[in-house]
Amino acid sequence: AQSVTQLGSHVSVSEGALVLLRCNYSSSVPPYLFWYVQYPNQGLQLLLKYTTGATLVKGINGFEAEFKKSETSFHLTKPSAHMSDAAEYFCAVSLPIYNQGGKLIFGQGTELSVKP
């Protein structure tokens, strides 16, 4: 069975500092990988996704993530944090199997705080 582990339920960084949110997955086959962001009282918004091809994926708002198969990781980074990045971030996987695209397995989430 697939699972996703996000290391650290809360991460705090200073404005302008590097953001690093960690995600490790477990899957019987190489999965598709996603990062979503959720702002208070809102739904989830896709930041980026990895399906196939280049392992370094660039997303919106300056975020990027690198798929490392050997480490079963998909960590999210941003070189310089902005106050508007404060939100909850979710890593998710889905199986590259016919008709499984709508079923995502989510990690527990990491709440990012940005200090001025």
Give contact residues for other proteins (rule: CB under 8 A). 32, 36, 41-46, 49, 51, 90, 92, 94, 96-109
- Residue 11 structure tokens: 């991460």
Asked if residues 91 and 35 have their Cβ atoms less than 8 Å apart, the reply is: yes
Asked if residues 36 and 90 have their Cβ atoms less than 8 Å apart, the reply is: yes
Q: How far is the CB of 64 from other proteins (least distance, A)?
A: 17
Residue whose token pair is 């999210």: 76
Q: How far apart are CA 113 and CA 12, in angstroms?
A: 5
Q: How far is the CB of 97 from other proteins (least distance, A)?
A: 6
CB nearer to other proteins: give 70 or 99. 99
CB nearer to other proteins: give 83 or 97. 97
CB nearer to other proteins: give 104 or 114. 104
Q: How far is the CB of 60 from other proteins (least distance, A)?
A: 11
- Residue 39 structure tokens: 């702002």
Q: How far apart are CA 19 and CA 84, in angstroms?
A: 13
Q: How far is the CB of 99 from other proteins (least distance, A)?
A: 6
CB nearer to other proteins: give 30 or 62. 30
